[in-house]
Amino acid sequence: MGSTGTRLSSVLLVLSTVLVGLMAGLFFAFDVSVMPGLAKADDRTYVTAMQNFNAVIDGNPLFGTVFVVALLAVFAAAFVEARAGRREVALWTALAGAAYLVVLVVTFTVNIPLNNELADAGDAAQLTDFSVVDKFKGTWETVNIVRTLLCTAALTALARALVLYGRRAGGRGASAR
């Protein structure tokens, strides 16, 4: 593979790592600060805050871009590495992609429907039935921890892929296969 292919590989691996790292950091921040902070608030404040967070995230094209491009970059990196014959790098990168794909599936099948249900509850100032909060809290928070763990696993796999790629680029090719 020529220098263009090597450059593409390194760009895709670094881009994948950064984007997955950003997503892992977002989920982690919710786990360790946002949700515990909201747990100390009353239900009306909780609903208002979560509705606002979700509206801001849904309406933010940068978030959507990072969320989706992370997956595309990871699988593109795995493909390029496999084509270059760097099987071990490709394997670790594909493993990262699989873990991150599960994050997307969980997000689309659990978190987003819960977010929509909370949005459909209406204006928190007018809300009288807060039963939606208990259902939301228990499921959303648990599943977010799962997303954090999966993103962290993907990030770890990408870090391993980068180490192996670096060894290969540094002249120790046999150890990177």
For residue range 98-110, list pLDDT tens digits in order: 999 999 999 999 9
Tokens of 22: 């950003």
User: pTM value?
Assistant: 0.88
Domain ranges of the chain: 3-170
52 vs 1, higher pLDDT: 52
For residue range 1-13, list pLDDT tens digits in order: 455 558 899 999 9
CA atoms within 13 A on the CB side of 113: 9
Q: Is residue 27 a contact partner of residue 151, using CB atoms and an 8 Å limit?
A: yes
Question: Could you report how far apart the first and last alpha carbons of the chain are, in Å?
Answer: 15
Residues 6+ apart with CB under 8 A from 83: 1
